[in-house]
Protein backbone atom coordinates (compact mmCIF):
# COMPACT_ATOMS: atom_id res chain seq x y z
CA UNK A 1 0.00 0.00 0.00
CA UNK A 2 2.85 2.39 0.87
CA UNK A 3 4.58 1.63 -2.45
CA UNK A 4 1.34 2.31 -4.38
CA UNK A 5 0.86 5.59 -2.52
CA UNK A 6 4.42 6.67 -3.28
CA UNK A 7 3.90 5.89 -6.96
CA UNK A 8 0.73 7.91 -6.98
CA UNK A 9 2.45 10.83 -5.30
CA UNK A 10 5.30 10.55 -7.79
CA UNK A 11 2.86 10.62 -10.72
CA UNK A 12 1.16 13.73 -9.33
CA UNK A 13 4.51 15.45 -8.84
CA UNK A 14 5.53 14.63 -12.41
CA UNK A 15 2.26 16.09 -13.71
CA UNK A 16 2.73 19.25 -11.66
CA UNK A 17 6.31 19.59 -12.92
CA UNK A 18 5.15 19.20 -16.52
CA UNK A 19 2.40 21.77 -15.95
CA UNK A 20 4.88 24.20 -14.44
CA UNK A 21 6.97 24.00 -17.59
CA UNK A 22 4.07 24.73 -19.99
CA UNK A 23 1.42 26.63 -17.99
CA UNK A 24 1.82 30.23 -16.80
CA UNK A 25 2.77 30.44 -13.13
CA UNK A 26 -0.35 32.38 -12.20
CA UNK A 27 -2.44 29.41 -13.38
CA UNK A 28 -0.34 26.61 -11.84
CA UNK A 29 -0.74 28.25 -8.45
CA UNK A 30 -4.52 28.14 -8.91
CA UNK A 31 -4.49 24.55 -10.20
CA UNK A 32 -2.81 23.37 -7.01
CA UNK A 33 -5.59 24.91 -4.90
CA UNK A 34 -8.31 22.57 -6.24
CA UNK A 35 -8.02 18.90 -5.14
CA UNK A 36 -10.18 17.68 -8.05
CA UNK A 37 -7.40 18.65 -10.46
CA UNK A 38 -5.35 15.67 -9.29
CA UNK A 39 -7.71 13.33 -11.14
CA UNK A 40 -8.26 15.60 -14.16
CA UNK A 41 -5.46 15.26 -16.72
CA UNK A 42 -6.85 17.81 -19.21
CA UNK A 43 -9.46 20.27 -17.93
CA UNK A 44 -8.08 21.86 -14.77
CA UNK A 45 -10.20 24.06 -12.52
CA UNK A 46 -8.70 27.53 -12.15
CA UNK A 47 -11.52 29.44 -10.46
CA UNK A 48 -15.13 28.68 -9.53
CA UNK A 49 -18.19 29.70 -7.57
CA UNK A 50 -21.59 28.10 -7.04
CA UNK A 51 -22.67 28.41 -10.68
CA UNK A 52 -19.64 28.88 -12.95
CA UNK A 53 -16.07 27.73 -13.28
CA UNK A 54 -13.01 28.70 -15.29
CA UNK A 55 -11.06 25.72 -16.65
CA UNK A 56 -7.71 25.41 -18.39
CA UNK A 57 -7.37 22.82 -21.15
CA UNK A 58 -3.80 21.53 -20.90
CA UNK A 59 -3.83 20.04 -24.42
CA UNK A 60 -5.05 23.17 -26.19
CA UNK A 61 -3.55 25.67 -23.73
CA UNK A 62 -6.91 27.45 -23.63
CA UNK A 63 -9.16 28.96 -20.96
CA UNK A 64 -12.95 28.70 -20.93
CA UNK A 65 -15.84 29.73 -18.68
CA UNK A 66 -18.63 27.18 -18.33
CA UNK A 67 -21.76 27.02 -16.20
CA UNK A 68 -21.93 24.19 -13.70
CA UNK A 69 -24.54 21.46 -13.98
CA UNK A 70 -27.34 22.89 -11.85
CA UNK A 71 -27.63 26.29 -13.55
CA UNK A 72 -29.98 26.48 -16.55
CA UNK A 73 -29.23 29.15 -19.16
CA UNK A 74 -32.72 29.22 -20.68
CA UNK A 75 -36.03 27.44 -20.33
CA UNK A 76 -36.56 28.00 -24.07
CA UNK A 77 -35.71 24.71 -25.81
CA UNK A 78 -32.93 24.89 -28.43
CA UNK A 79 -32.04 28.49 -27.51
CA UNK A 80 -28.79 29.10 -29.39
CA UNK A 81 -28.04 32.68 -28.33
CA UNK A 82 -26.03 32.07 -25.14
CA UNK A 83 -22.65 33.21 -26.53
CA UNK A 84 -24.23 36.27 -28.14
CA UNK A 85 -25.96 37.23 -24.89
CA UNK A 86 -22.77 36.71 -22.87
CA UNK A 87 -20.91 38.98 -25.32
CA UNK A 88 -23.66 41.57 -24.99
CA UNK A 89 -23.46 41.33 -21.18
CA UNK A 90 -19.73 42.09 -21.17
CA UNK A 91 -20.21 44.92 -23.67
CA UNK A 92 -22.97 46.34 -21.48
CA UNK A 93 -20.58 46.43 -18.51
CA UNK A 94 -17.96 48.20 -20.62
CA UNK A 95 -20.03 50.37 -22.98
CA UNK A 96 -23.70 50.63 -21.89
CA UNK A 97 -24.32 53.61 -24.18
CA UNK A 98 -23.05 51.66 -27.18
CA UNK A 99 -25.44 48.80 -26.41
CA UNK A 100 -28.34 51.29 -26.26
CA UNK A 101 -27.27 52.83 -29.58
CA UNK A 102 -27.01 49.36 -31.14
CA UNK A 103 -30.59 48.60 -30.12
CA UNK A 104 -31.82 51.99 -31.33
CA UNK A 105 -30.11 51.41 -34.67
CA UNK A 106 -32.15 48.19 -34.89
CA UNK A 107 -35.44 49.72 -33.73
CA UNK A 108 -37.34 48.76 -36.88
CA UNK A 109 -35.98 45.20 -36.68
CA UNK A 110 -36.84 44.96 -32.98
CA UNK A 111 -40.36 46.27 -33.55
CA UNK A 112 -40.88 43.58 -36.19
CA UNK A 113 -39.82 40.94 -33.66
CA UNK A 114 -42.13 42.44 -31.03
CA UNK A 115 -45.04 42.46 -33.50
CA UNK A 116 -44.40 38.78 -34.34
CA UNK A 117 -43.93 37.94 -30.64
CA UNK A 118 -47.32 39.40 -29.77
CA UNK A 119 -48.90 37.39 -32.57
CA UNK A 120 -47.23 34.15 -31.36
CA UNK A 121 -48.48 34.82 -27.82
CA UNK A 122 -52.02 36.09 -28.45
CA UNK A 123 -52.90 35.19 -32.04
CA UNK A 124 -53.71 38.86 -32.63
CA UNK A 125 -52.02 40.75 -35.44
CA UNK A 126 -50.74 44.24 -34.62
CA UNK A 127 -48.56 46.57 -36.66
CA UNK A 128 -45.23 48.18 -35.73
CA UNK A 129 -46.88 51.47 -34.80
CA UNK A 130 -49.44 49.96 -32.43
CA UNK A 131 -49.60 50.79 -28.72
CA UNK A 132 -48.75 47.16 -27.86
CA UNK A 133 -45.51 47.22 -29.86
CA UNK A 134 -44.44 50.64 -28.56
CA UNK A 135 -45.14 49.51 -24.99
CA UNK A 136 -43.10 46.33 -25.49
CA UNK A 137 -40.24 48.35 -27.00
CA UNK A 138 -40.14 50.67 -23.96
CA UNK A 139 -40.14 47.62 -21.66
CA UNK A 140 -36.86 46.53 -23.26
CA UNK A 141 -35.23 49.92 -22.60
CA UNK A 142 -36.48 49.96 -19.00
CA UNK A 143 -35.07 46.54 -18.02
CA UNK A 144 -31.26 46.29 -18.38
CA UNK A 145 -31.15 42.49 -18.13
CA UNK A 146 -33.68 42.23 -20.96
CA UNK A 147 -31.84 44.97 -22.87
CA UNK A 148 -28.68 42.82 -22.72
CA UNK A 149 -30.61 39.83 -24.04
CA UNK A 150 -32.16 41.83 -26.88
CA UNK A 151 -28.74 43.18 -27.91
CA UNK A 152 -27.40 39.63 -27.99
CA UNK A 153 -30.31 38.36 -30.06
CA UNK A 154 -29.92 41.24 -32.51
CA UNK A 155 -26.25 40.28 -32.86
CA UNK A 156 -27.41 36.74 -33.64
CA UNK A 157 -29.92 38.12 -36.17
CA UNK A 158 -27.18 40.11 -37.91
CA UNK A 159 -24.79 37.18 -38.11
CA UNK A 160 -27.05 34.22 -38.83
CA UNK A 161 -30.29 35.64 -40.22
CA UNK A 162 -33.83 36.10 -38.97
CA UNK A 163 -34.98 34.34 -35.78
CA UNK A 164 -38.37 32.69 -35.69
CA UNK A 165 -38.76 30.22 -32.82
CA UNK A 166 -40.48 31.17 -29.52
CA UNK A 167 -40.15 34.90 -30.11
CA UNK A 168 -42.47 35.81 -27.23
CA UNK A 169 -40.12 34.29 -24.65
CA UNK A 170 -37.16 36.05 -26.26
CA UNK A 171 -38.57 39.55 -26.77
CA UNK A 172 -41.59 40.21 -24.49
CA UNK A 173 -40.80 41.17 -20.89
CA UNK A 174 -43.85 39.36 -19.51
CA UNK A 175 -42.77 36.05 -21.06
CA UNK A 176 -39.03 36.55 -20.72
CA UNK A 177 -39.34 36.62 -16.94
CA UNK A 178 -40.24 32.91 -17.07
CA UNK A 179 -37.15 31.83 -19.01
CA UNK A 180 -34.53 32.22 -16.26
CA UNK A 181 -32.14 34.04 -18.61
CA UNK A 182 -32.09 37.20 -16.46
CA UNK A 183 -30.90 35.15 -13.50
CA UNK A 184 -28.26 33.50 -15.68
CA UNK A 185 -26.97 36.89 -16.85
CA UNK A 186 -26.82 38.20 -13.29
CA UNK A 187 -24.76 35.22 -12.12
CA UNK A 188 -22.56 35.36 -15.23
CA UNK A 189 -21.76 39.04 -14.61
CA UNK A 190 -20.98 38.34 -10.95
CA UNK A 191 -18.61 35.56 -11.91
CA UNK A 192 -16.95 37.50 -14.74
CA UNK A 193 -16.27 40.54 -12.53
CA UNK A 194 -15.02 38.36 -9.68
CA UNK A 195 -12.76 36.47 -12.08
CA UNK A 196 -11.35 39.60 -13.75
CA UNK A 197 -10.44 41.00 -10.34
CA UNK A 198 -8.79 37.79 -9.17
CA UNK A 199 -6.62 36.91 -12.19
CA UNK A 200 -4.90 38.95 -14.94
CA UNK A 201 -7.46 38.03 -17.61
CA UNK A 202 -9.38 39.52 -20.52
CA UNK A 203 -12.99 38.30 -20.92
CA UNK A 204 -15.13 39.19 -23.94
CA UNK A 205 -18.12 36.90 -23.29
CA UNK A 206 -16.80 34.15 -25.52
CA UNK A 207 -13.02 33.92 -25.09
CA UNK A 208 -10.79 34.25 -22.05
CA UNK A 209 -7.12 35.20 -22.41
CA UNK A 210 -4.29 36.14 -20.09
CA UNK A 211 -3.48 39.85 -20.09
CA UNK A 212 0.22 39.29 -20.62
CA UNK A 213 -0.08 37.25 -23.83
CA UNK A 214 -0.22 38.35 -27.45
CA UNK A 215 -3.87 37.70 -28.26
CA UNK A 216 -6.44 39.01 -30.76
CA UNK A 217 -8.84 40.17 -28.02
CA UNK A 218 -9.37 43.93 -27.83
CA UNK A 219 -8.65 45.60 -24.48
CA UNK A 220 -11.51 48.05 -25.12
CA UNK A 221 -14.00 45.23 -25.70
CA UNK A 222 -12.80 42.85 -22.97
CA UNK A 223 -13.42 42.92 -19.25
CA UNK A 224 -10.28 43.06 -17.08
CA UNK A 225 -9.14 44.51 -13.76
CA UNK A 226 -8.52 47.78 -15.63
CA UNK A 227 -12.12 48.15 -16.84
CA UNK A 228 -14.30 51.00 -15.57
CA UNK A 229 -17.72 49.42 -15.06
CA UNK A 230 -19.19 52.06 -12.73
CA UNK A 231 -21.37 53.75 -15.43
CA UNK A 232 -22.97 50.39 -16.24
CA UNK A 233 -23.48 49.44 -12.60
CA UNK A 234 -25.67 52.47 -11.95
CA UNK A 235 -28.07 51.26 -14.66
CA UNK A 236 -28.44 47.69 -13.42
CA UNK A 237 -31.05 46.60 -10.83
CA UNK A 238 -29.96 47.18 -7.22
CA UNK A 239 -29.76 43.47 -6.43
CA UNK A 240 -27.45 42.94 -9.41
CA UNK A 241 -25.34 45.93 -8.43
CA UNK A 242 -24.90 44.60 -4.91
CA UNK A 243 -23.87 41.18 -6.20
CA UNK A 244 -21.25 42.64 -8.54
CA UNK A 245 -19.94 44.99 -5.85
CA UNK A 246 -19.71 41.99 -3.54
CA UNK A 247 -17.71 40.21 -6.24
CA UNK A 248 -15.30 43.14 -6.31
CA UNK A 249 -14.79 43.01 -2.55
CA UNK A 250 -14.70 39.23 -2.05
CA UNK A 251 -13.20 38.08 -5.30
CA UNK A 252 -12.04 34.67 -4.08
CA UNK A 253 -15.34 33.53 -2.58
CA UNK A 254 -18.65 32.46 -4.07
CA UNK A 255 -20.80 35.50 -4.74
CA UNK A 256 -24.28 36.17 -3.40
CA UNK A 257 -27.24 35.03 -5.50
CA UNK A 258 -29.06 38.21 -6.53
CA UNK A 259 -31.82 37.24 -8.92
CA UNK A 260 -33.57 33.90 -9.05
CA UNK A 261 -31.52 31.62 -11.34
CA UNK A 262 -33.19 28.65 -12.96
CA UNK A 263 -31.82 25.48 -11.32
CA UNK A 264 -32.28 21.93 -12.51
CA UNK A 265 -32.48 20.72 -8.91
CA UNK A 266 -35.64 22.79 -8.41
CA UNK A 267 -37.21 22.90 -11.87
CA UNK A 268 -35.89 19.78 -13.60
CA UNK A 269 -39.25 18.01 -14.01
CA UNK A 270 -40.97 21.21 -15.18
CA UNK A 271 -38.25 21.85 -17.77
CA UNK A 272 -38.56 18.29 -19.04
CA UNK A 273 -42.31 18.75 -19.54
CA UNK A 274 -41.74 22.05 -21.38
CA UNK A 275 -39.25 20.43 -23.73
CA UNK A 276 -41.47 17.41 -24.25
CA UNK A 277 -44.47 19.56 -25.25
CA UNK A 278 -42.46 22.25 -27.03
CA UNK A 279 -43.94 23.87 -30.15
CA UNK A 280 -41.23 25.86 -31.92
CA UNK A 281 -43.46 28.43 -33.70
CA UNK A 282 -40.74 28.72 -36.29
CA UNK A 283 -40.84 29.42 -40.00
CA UNK A 284 -38.17 28.87 -42.68
CA UNK A 285 -35.37 31.49 -42.45
CA UNK A 286 -36.02 32.69 -46.02
CA UNK A 287 -39.63 33.38 -45.11
CA UNK A 288 -38.70 35.24 -41.91
CA UNK A 289 -35.93 37.26 -43.56
CA UNK A 290 -38.37 39.21 -45.75
CA UNK A 291 -39.65 41.08 -42.70
CA UNK A 292 -36.31 42.74 -42.03
CA UNK A 293 -34.01 45.24 -43.69
CA UNK A 294 -30.25 45.56 -43.23
CA UNK A 295 -29.35 48.54 -41.03
CA UNK A 296 -25.59 48.15 -41.41
CA UNK A 297 -23.20 49.54 -44.00
CA UNK A 298 -22.50 47.08 -46.80
CA UNK A 299 -19.07 48.59 -47.51
CA UNK A 300 -15.78 47.82 -45.82
CA UNK A 301 -12.32 49.17 -46.57
CA UNK A 302 -10.22 46.13 -45.82
CA UNK A 303 -7.08 46.04 -47.93
CA UNK A 304 -7.32 42.25 -48.19
CA UNK A 305 -10.90 41.24 -47.53
CA UNK A 306 -11.69 37.56 -46.85
CA UNK A 307 -15.28 36.38 -47.17
CA UNK A 308 -17.10 33.14 -47.97
CA UNK A 309 -20.55 31.54 -47.93
CA UNK A 310 -22.45 34.64 -49.01
CA UNK A 311 -25.14 32.57 -50.79
CA UNK A 312 -26.53 35.75 -52.37
CA UNK A 313 -30.04 35.24 -53.71
CA UNK A 314 -30.95 38.58 -55.30
CA UNK A 315 -28.48 38.65 -58.19
CA UNK A 316 -25.87 40.96 -56.67
CA UNK A 317 -23.12 40.91 -54.07
CA UNK A 318 -24.46 42.20 -50.73
CA UNK A 319 -21.14 43.80 -49.76
CA UNK A 320 -18.77 46.36 -51.31
CA UNK A 321 -14.99 46.32 -51.16
CA UNK A 322 -12.87 48.18 -53.73
CA UNK A 323 -9.57 46.63 -52.68
CA UNK A 324 -8.40 42.99 -52.92
CA UNK A 325 -10.97 40.34 -52.05
CA UNK A 326 -10.48 36.65 -51.32
CA UNK A 327 -13.78 34.90 -52.05
CA UNK A 328 -13.57 31.42 -50.54
CA UNK A 329 -16.54 29.88 -52.35
CA UNK A 330 -20.34 29.58 -52.09
CA UNK A 331 -20.75 33.22 -53.05
CA UNK A 332 -23.85 33.07 -55.26
CA UNK A 333 -27.14 31.24 -55.50
CA UNK A 334 -28.59 33.65 -58.07
CA UNK A 335 -26.26 33.89 -61.11
CA UNK A 336 -24.44 36.95 -59.78
CA UNK A 337 -22.13 38.90 -62.02
CA UNK A 338 -19.97 41.82 -60.87
CA UNK A 339 -17.62 43.85 -63.06
CA UNK A 340 -15.92 45.73 -60.22
CA UNK A 341 -15.06 43.33 -57.41
CA UNK A 342 -11.37 42.36 -57.68
CA UNK A 343 -9.12 39.74 -56.12
CA UNK A 344 -9.17 35.94 -56.19
CA UNK A 345 -11.98 33.41 -56.11
CA UNK A 346 -11.97 29.67 -55.35
CA UNK A 347 -14.76 27.29 -56.33
CA UNK A 348 -17.28 26.14 -53.73
CA UNK A 349 -20.07 23.57 -53.92
CA UNK A 350 -22.82 26.09 -54.70
CA UNK A 351 -20.90 27.52 -57.65
CA UNK A 352 -21.25 24.12 -59.33
CA UNK A 353 -25.02 24.62 -59.54
CA UNK A 354 -25.07 28.39 -59.89
CA UNK A 355 -23.01 28.44 -63.11
CA UNK A 356 -25.31 26.02 -64.95
CA UNK A 357 -27.63 27.43 -67.64
CA UNK A 358 -31.01 28.54 -66.37
CA UNK A 359 -32.91 26.81 -69.18
CA UNK A 360 -34.34 23.28 -69.09
CA UNK A 361 -33.60 22.27 -72.70
CA UNK A 362 -30.23 20.50 -72.52
CA UNK A 363 -29.88 20.55 -76.29
CA UNK A 364 -29.79 24.35 -76.30
CA UNK A 365 -26.53 26.16 -77.01
CA UNK A 366 -25.79 27.28 -73.41
CA UNK A 367 -25.48 23.61 -72.47
CA UNK A 368 -22.86 22.83 -75.16
CA UNK A 369 -19.82 23.05 -72.92
CA UNK A 370 -21.47 20.79 -70.35
CA UNK A 371 -22.28 17.98 -72.84
CA UNK A 372 -19.13 15.90 -72.10
CA UNK A 373 -20.20 15.48 -68.49
CA UNK A 374 -23.64 14.00 -69.20
CA UNK A 375 -21.91 10.63 -69.52
CA UNK A 376 -20.98 10.69 -65.84
CA UNK A 377 -23.41 9.22 -63.34
CA UNK A 378 -22.30 11.68 -60.66
CA UNK A 379 -23.13 14.64 -62.95
CA UNK A 380 -26.66 13.38 -63.64
CA UNK A 381 -27.27 12.86 -59.93
CA UNK A 382 -25.82 16.29 -59.19
CA UNK A 383 -28.23 17.91 -61.65
CA UNK A 384 -31.23 16.15 -60.10
CA UNK A 385 -30.42 16.68 -56.41
CA UNK A 386 -27.13 18.38 -55.46
CA UNK A 387 -27.81 18.05 -51.74
CA UNK A 388 -27.93 14.26 -52.09
CA UNK A 389 -24.97 13.89 -54.46
CA UNK A 390 -22.21 16.12 -53.10
CA UNK A 391 -20.16 13.15 -51.89
CA UNK A 392 -19.95 11.88 -55.50
CA UNK A 393 -18.13 14.95 -56.79
CA UNK A 394 -14.73 14.29 -58.41
CA UNK A 395 -11.54 15.44 -56.76
CA UNK A 396 -10.42 18.89 -57.78
CA UNK A 397 -8.28 17.98 -60.81
CA UNK A 398 -11.29 17.07 -63.00
CA UNK A 399 -11.96 18.92 -66.34
CA UNK A 400 -15.44 19.77 -65.07
CA UNK A 401 -13.99 22.41 -62.75
CA UNK A 402 -12.19 24.14 -65.61
CA UNK A 403 -15.57 24.79 -67.28
CA UNK A 404 -16.90 26.12 -63.96
CA UNK A 405 -13.85 28.39 -63.76
CA UNK A 406 -14.49 29.86 -67.23
CA UNK A 407 -18.10 30.63 -66.34
CA UNK A 408 -17.04 32.41 -63.14
CA UNK A 409 -14.37 34.39 -65.00
CA UNK A 410 -17.02 35.75 -67.36
CA UNK A 411 -19.22 36.82 -64.46
CA UNK A 412 -16.36 38.27 -62.38
CA UNK A 413 -13.88 39.69 -64.93
CA UNK A 414 -11.70 41.40 -62.29
CA UNK A 415 -11.34 38.22 -60.22
CA UNK A 416 -8.63 35.61 -60.71
CA UNK A 417 -10.49 32.31 -60.39
CA UNK A 418 -7.92 29.92 -58.97
CA UNK A 419 -8.73 26.37 -60.03
CA UNK A 420 -5.57 24.77 -58.65
CA UNK A 421 -3.52 27.81 -59.61
CA UNK A 422 -1.49 30.47 -57.80
CA UNK A 423 -1.32 34.24 -57.67
CA UNK A 424 1.23 36.69 -56.22
CA UNK A 425 -0.21 39.76 -54.49
CA UNK A 426 1.78 42.19 -52.34
CA UNK A 427 4.65 39.67 -51.96
CA UNK A 428 2.32 36.92 -50.73
CA UNK A 429 1.68 33.86 -52.88
CA UNK A 430 -1.89 32.58 -52.79
CA UNK A 431 -2.61 29.03 -53.91
CA UNK A 432 -6.25 28.33 -54.70
CA UNK A 433 -7.25 24.66 -54.55
CA UNK A 434 -10.61 23.38 -55.77
CA UNK A 435 -12.11 21.56 -52.80
CA UNK A 436 -15.87 22.26 -53.02
CA UNK A 437 -16.76 19.75 -50.28
CA UNK A 438 -14.99 17.61 -47.70
CA UNK A 439 -14.64 14.20 -49.36
CA UNK A 440 -14.19 12.16 -46.20
CA UNK A 441 -15.04 8.86 -47.92
CA UNK A 442 -12.31 9.45 -50.50
CA UNK A 443 -9.85 11.10 -48.18
CA UNK A 444 -6.84 9.23 -49.59
CA UNK A 445 -7.53 10.38 -53.16
CA UNK A 446 -8.33 13.90 -51.97
CA UNK A 447 -5.10 14.23 -50.05
CA UNK A 448 -3.09 12.79 -52.93
CA UNK A 449 -4.62 15.52 -55.12
CA UNK A 450 -3.72 18.17 -52.52
CA UNK A 451 -0.13 16.94 -52.32
CA UNK A 452 0.41 16.75 -56.08
CA UNK A 453 -1.16 20.17 -56.65
CA UNK A 454 0.95 21.84 -53.97
CA UNK A 455 4.15 20.22 -55.22
CA UNK A 456 3.44 21.54 -58.72
CA UNK A 457 2.44 25.04 -57.65
CA UNK A 458 5.15 25.57 -55.04
CA UNK A 459 7.91 24.37 -57.34
CA UNK A 460 11.44 25.41 -56.36
CA UNK A 461 10.39 28.55 -54.47
CA UNK A 462 10.68 27.65 -50.80
CA UNK A 463 10.91 31.21 -49.43
CA UNK A 464 7.88 33.21 -50.65
CA UNK A 465 5.23 33.45 -47.90
CA UNK A 466 2.30 31.32 -49.09
CA UNK A 467 -1.37 31.13 -48.12
CA UNK A 468 -3.54 28.19 -49.25
CA UNK A 469 -7.18 29.00 -50.05
CA UNK A 470 -9.93 26.41 -50.52
CA UNK A 471 -13.67 26.30 -49.93
CA UNK A 472 -13.81 23.19 -47.77
CA UNK A 473 -10.86 22.97 -45.35
CA UNK A 474 -7.87 20.88 -46.42
CA UNK A 475 -8.24 18.66 -43.34
CA UNK A 476 -9.13 18.99 -39.65
CA UNK A 477 -5.71 20.24 -38.63
CA UNK A 478 -6.23 23.37 -40.76
CA UNK A 479 -9.94 23.91 -40.10
CA UNK A 480 -11.72 26.37 -37.86
CA UNK A 481 -14.60 23.94 -37.25
CA UNK A 482 -14.69 23.03 -33.52
CA UNK A 483 -14.77 19.39 -32.47
CA UNK A 484 -18.03 20.06 -30.64
CA UNK A 485 -19.85 20.86 -33.91
CA UNK A 486 -22.28 18.31 -35.35
CA UNK A 487 -20.53 18.82 -38.71
CA UNK A 488 -17.14 17.79 -37.30
CA UNK A 489 -15.88 14.45 -38.62
CA UNK A 490 -12.91 13.05 -36.73
CA UNK A 491 -11.93 10.98 -39.77
CA UNK A 492 -11.13 14.08 -41.85
CA UNK A 493 -7.55 14.28 -40.61
CA UNK A 494 -4.31 14.57 -42.54
CA UNK A 495 -3.10 11.02 -43.17
CA UNK A 496 -0.66 11.77 -46.00
CA UNK A 497 2.76 12.16 -44.32
CA UNK A 498 4.24 13.82 -47.42
CA UNK A 499 1.87 16.77 -46.98
CA UNK A 500 3.31 17.48 -43.56
CA UNK A 501 6.85 17.23 -44.94
CA UNK A 502 5.91 19.66 -47.70
CA UNK A 503 4.60 22.17 -45.15
CA UNK A 504 7.89 21.88 -43.29
CA UNK A 505 9.92 22.52 -46.44
CA UNK A 506 8.04 25.55 -47.81
CA UNK A 507 7.17 28.92 -46.30
CA UNK A 508 3.45 28.21 -45.91
CA UNK A 509 2.08 30.69 -43.36
CA UNK A 510 -1.64 30.01 -43.28
CA UNK A 511 -4.83 28.59 -44.75
CA UNK A 512 -8.22 30.09 -45.57
CA UNK A 513 -11.46 28.13 -45.93
CA UNK A 514 -15.25 28.48 -45.76
CA UNK A 515 -17.94 25.80 -46.07
CA UNK A 516 -18.87 25.26 -42.41
CA UNK A 517 -20.83 28.50 -41.81
CA UNK A 518 -18.99 29.21 -38.58
CA UNK A 519 -20.49 32.38 -37.02
CA UNK A 520 -18.11 35.30 -36.70
CA UNK A 521 -18.95 35.39 -32.98
CA UNK A 522 -17.26 32.01 -32.52
CA UNK A 523 -14.00 33.36 -33.93
CA UNK A 524 -12.68 34.48 -37.26
CA UNK A 525 -9.21 32.91 -37.08
CA UNK A 526 -6.90 30.90 -34.90
CA UNK A 527 -3.23 29.96 -34.75
CA UNK A 528 -2.52 26.24 -35.02
CA UNK A 529 0.56 24.05 -34.71
CA UNK A 530 1.14 21.93 -37.81
CA UNK A 531 4.29 20.49 -39.36
CA UNK A 532 6.41 21.94 -36.59
CA UNK A 533 5.34 25.55 -37.18
CA UNK A 534 2.55 27.96 -36.28
CA UNK A 535 0.05 28.69 -39.04
CA UNK A 536 -3.05 30.86 -39.11
CA UNK A 537 -6.44 29.49 -40.17
CA UNK A 538 -9.16 31.92 -41.30
CA UNK A 539 -12.86 31.29 -41.94
CA UNK A 540 -14.86 34.48 -42.56
CA UNK A 541 -18.45 33.80 -43.54
CA UNK A 542 -20.60 36.69 -44.69
CA UNK A 543 -23.17 38.22 -42.38
CA UNK A 544 -24.81 41.60 -42.06
CA UNK A 545 -22.30 42.66 -39.40
CA UNK A 546 -19.41 40.76 -40.96
CA UNK A 547 -18.77 41.77 -44.55
CA UNK A 548 -15.30 40.28 -44.44
CA UNK A 549 -12.13 39.76 -42.43
CA UNK A 550 -9.06 42.00 -42.81
CA UNK A 551 -6.26 39.55 -43.60
CA UNK A 552 -3.65 42.30 -43.29
CA UNK A 553 -3.93 41.95 -39.52
CA UNK A 554 -2.28 38.55 -39.88
CA UNK A 555 0.05 39.37 -42.79
CA UNK A 556 1.64 42.55 -41.40
CA UNK A 557 4.01 40.69 -39.12
CA UNK A 558 4.92 38.27 -41.90
CA UNK A 559 5.78 41.11 -44.30
CA UNK A 560 7.90 42.80 -41.66
CA UNK A 561 9.87 39.60 -41.07
CA UNK A 562 10.41 39.15 -44.81
CA UNK A 563 11.67 42.70 -45.41
For residue range 426-475, list pLDDT tens digits in order. 999 999 999 999 999 999 999 999 999 999 999 999 999 999 999 999 99
Question: By residue range, what is the domain housing residue 137?
Answer: 72-200+213-294
Judge if 366 and 407 occupy the same domain.
Answer: yes
Judge if 191 and 153 occupy the same domain.
Answer: yes
Q: What is the pLDDT of residue 252?
A: 42
For residues 190 and 245, what is the distance between their CA atoms, to the nearest angstrom? 8
Judge if 121 and 269 occupy the same domain.
Answer: yes
Q: What is the pLDDT of residue 92?
A: 96
Residues forming beta bridges with residue 549, ordered by sequence position: 306
CA angle 207, 211, 212 (to 5 degrees): 130
CA distances from 399 to 145, 353, 370, 434, 446 (A): 57, 16, 10, 12, 16
For residues 189 and 194, what is the distance between their CA atoms, to the nearest angstrom? 8
User: Domain boundary at 262, 294, 326, which?
Assistant: 294
Asked if residue 206 belongs to a domain, the reply is: no
Asked if residue 205 belongs to a domain, the reply is: no
Q: What is the pLDDT of residue 553?
A: 85
DSSP conformation class of 541: B
Q: Is the pLDDT of residue 289 over 90?
A: no
User: Domain boundary at 265, 294, 323, which?
Assistant: 294
In the predicted model, what is the mean pLDDT of residues 277-290? 73
Q: Read off the pLDDT band of 254 (50, 70, 90).
A: very low
Q: What is the pLDDT of residue 22?
A: 56
Asked if residue 83 belongs to a domain, the reply is: yes
Judge if 95 and 147 occupy the same domain.
Answer: yes
Residues forming beta bridges with residue 432, ordered by sequence position: 421, 469
Q: Which of 552, 512, 525 is nearest to 346 (CA)?
A: 512
CATH of the domain at 485: 3.60.21
Burial of 487: CB neighbours in 10 Å, binned 0-12, 13-18, 19+: exposed
Judge if 541 and 420 occupy the same domain.
Answer: yes
Task: Describe the crossing of helices 181-196 and 82-94 by its angle, rounded to 10 degrees.
Answer: 60
Judge if 534 and 555 occupy the same domain.
Answer: yes
Q: Is the pLDDT of residue 16 over 80?
A: no
Judge if 320 and 279 occupy the same domain.
Answer: no
User: Domain boundary at 67, 94, 123, which?
Assistant: 67
Strands in 428-432's sheet, in edge-to-edge order, are 421-425, 428-432, 466-469, 508-512, 533-538, 525-530
Q: What is the pLDDT of residue 59?
A: 84
Burial of 523: CB neighbours in 10 Å, binned 0-12, 13-18, 19+: middle
SS3 128: coil
In the predicted model, what is the mean pLDDT of residues 246-253? 56
CB atoms within 10 A of CB 414: 13
Judge if 44 and 148 occupy the same domain.
Answer: no
Q: What is the pLDDT of residue 420?
A: 97
The whole-chain average pLDDT of the chain stands at: 88
Amino acid sequence: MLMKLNKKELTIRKELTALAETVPKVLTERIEQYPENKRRPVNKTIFKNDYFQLTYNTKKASLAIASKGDLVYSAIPYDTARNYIQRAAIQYLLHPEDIRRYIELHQTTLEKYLMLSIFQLTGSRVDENSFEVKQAYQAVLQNPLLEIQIAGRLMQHDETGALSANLAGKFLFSENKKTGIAGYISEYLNFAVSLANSLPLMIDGNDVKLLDTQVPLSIDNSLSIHSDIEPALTRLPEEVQSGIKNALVVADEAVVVNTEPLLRSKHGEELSRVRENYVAHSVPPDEAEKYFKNVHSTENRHLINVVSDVHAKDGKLPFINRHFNILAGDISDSHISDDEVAGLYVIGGHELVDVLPGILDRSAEPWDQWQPFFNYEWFEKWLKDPDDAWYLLPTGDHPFYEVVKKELEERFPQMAVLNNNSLLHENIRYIGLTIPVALVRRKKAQQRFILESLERLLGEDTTTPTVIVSHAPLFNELSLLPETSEAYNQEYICEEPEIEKLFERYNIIGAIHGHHHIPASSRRFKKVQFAGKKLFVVCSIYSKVNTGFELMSLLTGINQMQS
